[in-house]
Structure 1
C-alpha cells in the first residue's frame, strides 16, 4: 500500500484482525460499495488467501481500492483481499501457471504435487518451483512440506491407499448439538454434505431431516430425527475411505434410483 492524497471515488473502511498465529492482518470491507459496481467473472472457484497480495494492480484500478484509516487514505498497489472478482482471477492464474504440469494441482494458494517415486517427486518439485519463480510468485517456506507420504489437503487426509476423513473435522460434527430449529439444522446438513461422497445412499439416510426444510412444513422434532442425526454421525465417524482409481482393474458402471433424493 502507499499513502494517497486527494479526492477519490471510493474510500473503503479498513481494520486490523488477528491471525491464528498471532500476527496481524489489515482487512478491507469492499462489500460497502465497490463490490456492487464490479462484474463478477464466470469462473469456477473456491476460497481466497494470502497470495492475492502478490498480484500487481493496474494503475487505473488502484484508485478504486482507496482505504480510509485514522492516519489518512491509502491505496493498494497490488490486488486486495475482499474484491469479489479476485478469487476467480487468481484461480485462473494458477490454472494457467500449471496447465502443462499434470502432476501439479492448484486450489488457490494450495499446491499439491503428486508423484509415484521419490526421484520423480524431486523432479516434479523442482519443475514447480522453477515455474513459480518464473511467474514471480513468493512462497512461505514454513507452509511448505516436501516428500510427504500422507497430507492434509482441502479438509481430507490423502495417502497411498486413498482419501480419508480428517479426524479434526469429524470431531466438529460429533460435538454439534441437536438442532432446535431450521437454522442449526441447515448448518448440520451443510457440514454433513461435505462427506456425502464417503457415504453410500447419504440422501436416503438424511431424508427425514430434509423433510423438515420443505416449504410450509411445521417444525416438529421427533425420535425419528434424533435417530437420523445419531446414524449420520456414526456413519461419518466410521473409517470410510475413497480408494484411488486404478485403471488396471476391471471397471463396473452401476446406476440406481431413489424414492427420496438425488445425489451421489
Structure 2
C-alpha cells in the first residue's frame, strides 16, 4: 500500500491550500482507457452574446462530482446559457435582461445544491472572457494568444528523452 504526503501550495489568489502527491497511490491503480474530454465551446452557442460571466467554485474539484451529477443539478441552464468545465463555469446571454435572469437562476440552483463560489476568481457582466484557454466574445471563439506564445516559445527537443 502506498502513502502520499501532504504539502502546502500557494494559489493564484494568494491563499494556501493543501496538496497531495498521489503518485505512489496512482502507481498501484489500474489505468482507465480514454482521456479527459477537451472543453469545447461551440461558437454558435455564444454568437451574438454580449454578456459573459466566469463563475469559479471554491475548491471546486472537491465540491463537484466528477460525473454527470453537476449537469443534472444545472440541466436547465447547461448548453443554453452555461458551460461547466471541472470547477470553472461560463455564463452567457444575448441581452442584459436575460443575463441577469439566468445569473439569478444559477445562484438559486447553486445555493439549493450547496455549492460555494470563489468571489476572487469569478467575474460577472463582461463583454469578453478568457475561459479554458479560449477567448470568448459575441463574435466568436479564439485561442488565447498567451497560450499560443507559450507553446511556440518551447525549445525544440534535441534527443528522444526531451520528447
Aligned residue in 2 for 1:50: 59
RMSD of aligned alpha carbons: 3.1
Does residue 13 of the first structure (1) align with residue 13 of the second (2)?
no
- Return the offset for 1:109: 0.9
Does residue 31 of the first structure (1) align with residue 32 of the second (2)?
no
- Return the offset for 1:154: 0.8
Equivalence map 1:109-188=2 (5 Å): 109-182=87-160, 184=162, 186=163
Structure 2 residue runs without a partner (length 5+): 40-57
Q: Distance between the aligned counterparts of 1:13 and 1:178, measured in 2?
A: 34
Q: Is the 8 A contact 1:91 1:107 kept in 2?
A: no
Does residue 96 of the first structure (1) align with residue 96 of the second (2)?
no
Larger RCO, structures 1/2 (Cα 8 Å, 6+ apart): 2
Task: Flag the 1:137–1:37 CA change in 2: closer, same or farther, 3 A.
Answer: same
Q: Is the 8 A contact 1:103 1:124 kept in 2?
A: yes
Q: Which runs of 4+ in 1 moved over 4 A?
A: 37-47
User: Higher strand proportion, which one?
Assistant: 2
User: Higher helix proportion, which one?
Assistant: 1
Q: Secondary structure at the match of 1:143?
A: strand
> Number of residue pairs matched?
143
Q: Is the 8 A contact 2:13 2:120 kept in 1?
A: no
TM-score normalised according to structure 2 size: 0.71
Task: Flag the 1:132–1:42 CA change in 2: closer, same or farther, 3 A.
Answer: farther
- Return the offset for 1:133: 0.5
TM-score normalised according to structure 1 size: 0.46
